[in-house]
C-alpha cells in the first residue's frame, strides 16, 4: 500500500511535469506562444498538480465546461521545490503545526497553499492515499510563468485518445498511454512541513 501522503510525478533530473485544465481562451494562445499570455491572470491563485489522473477526475477528462484543454507544464525542479518550501497546508493539523494559532498565522501570510486530496484510478475511483495540489498566489505566479517553466505541451488530444480507449473497454491500452509517475524525493524538512509520509 502506498504511503498516505507522498508526491508522485513525471520527472527527470532537472524538471517535473504538472498539469492544469483551461478553457480555449487561455489554452490556445498559451500553447501558441509557448508561455502564459493574456487573458491568463497573474492576479489570482493558480493550482498546479503533478497527478494526471487527479486532474482527469477533476475535469472529467477535459469535458467539463472551461476545462476542455489539458496542459502538461514542465517546470524546473528548483522552482517546484521552492514552491514546496513556501507551502502551508490549507487546514490545521496538530502533528504538523502543534497549535492552531501557529497554523493560522502561517496560512494568512503564505504565498503557496498545499492540500492533499484522494488520488484517483483511471476509473475515477478515490484511493486511500493522497495526491498533492499546490496553489501559487499572485506573489509567486510571475516566478512560475517566467522563471520555472521550461515547456508547455498540449495534452488535449492525448487525453481524448486515452478516454476513447477507456470508453471502448480497452482499459490496458488506455493505462499504457498514461504519463509515467513515480515517487518524487523530498527533504525531511518538507516532509515535516507538509505532513507527508515516508
Output the pLDDT for position 174: 98
Sign, CA dihedral 154-127-112-182, equals negative
CA distances 94 to 3, 91, 105, 131, Å, are: 19, 10, 14, 20
CA distance to 40, 67, 69, 146, per residue, from 185 (Å): 31, 30, 29, 25
**Window from 90-99, 130-139, 141-150 with minimum mean pLDDT:** 90-99
Q: Which of 141, 135, 97, 95 is nearest to 114 (CA)?
A: 135
Looking at residue 181, what is its pLDDT? 98
Residue 87: band (very low, low, confident or very high) from pLDDT cuts 50, 70, 90: very high
CA atoms within 13 A on the CB side of 135: 14
Q: Is the peptide bond before 39 cis (omega within 30 degrees of 0)?
A: yes
Compute the average pLDDT of residues 50-69.
98
DSSP readout, 52-67?
HHHHHHHHTTTTSTT-
pLDDT of the residue at 136: 98
137-186 pLDDT, tens digit per residue, is 999 999 999 999 999 999 999 999 999 999 999 999 999 999 999 999 99
Map out the domains of the chain as residue ranges: 8-193
Residue-wise pLDDT tens digits, 21-30:
999 999 999 9
Report the C-alpha gap between 178 and 173 in whole angstroms.
9
Q: How confident is the model at residue 98 (pLDDT cuts 50, 70, 90)?
A: confident
Percent of the chain with pLDDT over 70: 100
Amino acid at each position: 500500500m502506498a504511503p498516505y501522503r507522498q508526491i508522485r510525478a513525471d520527472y527527470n533530473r532537472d524538471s517535473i511535469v504538472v498539469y492544469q485544465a483551461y478553457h480555449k481562451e487561455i489554452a490556445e494562445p498559451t500553447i501558441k506562444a509557448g508561455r502564459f499570455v493574456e487573458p491568463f491572470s497573474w492576479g489570482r491563485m493558480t493550482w498546479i498538480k503533478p497527478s494526471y489522473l487527479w486532474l482527469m477526475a477533476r475535469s472529467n477528462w477535459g469535458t467539463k465546461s472551461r476545462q476542455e484543454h489539458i496542459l502538461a507544464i514542465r517546470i524546473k525542479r528548483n522552482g517546484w521545490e521552492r514552491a514546496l518550501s513556501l507551502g502551508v497546508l490549507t487546514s490545521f493539523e496538530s502533528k504538523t503545526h502543534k497549535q492552531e494559532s501557529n497554523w493560522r498565522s502561517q496560512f494568512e501570510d503564505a504565498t503557496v497553499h498545499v492540500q492533499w486530496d484522494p488520488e484517483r484510478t483511471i476509473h475515477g475511483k478515490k484511493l486511500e492515499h493522497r495526491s498533492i495540489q499546490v496553489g501559487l498566489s499572485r506573489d509567486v505566479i510571475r516566478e512560475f510563468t517566467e522563471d520555472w517553466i521550461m515547456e508547455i505541451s498540449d495534452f488535449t488530444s492525448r487525453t481524448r485518445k486515452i478516454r476513447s480507449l477507456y470508453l471502448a473497454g480497452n482499459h490496458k491500452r488506455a493505462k499504457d498511454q498514461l504519463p509515467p509517475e513515480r515517487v518524487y524525493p523530498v527533504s525531511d524538512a518538507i516532509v515535516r512541513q507538509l505532513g507527508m509520509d515516508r
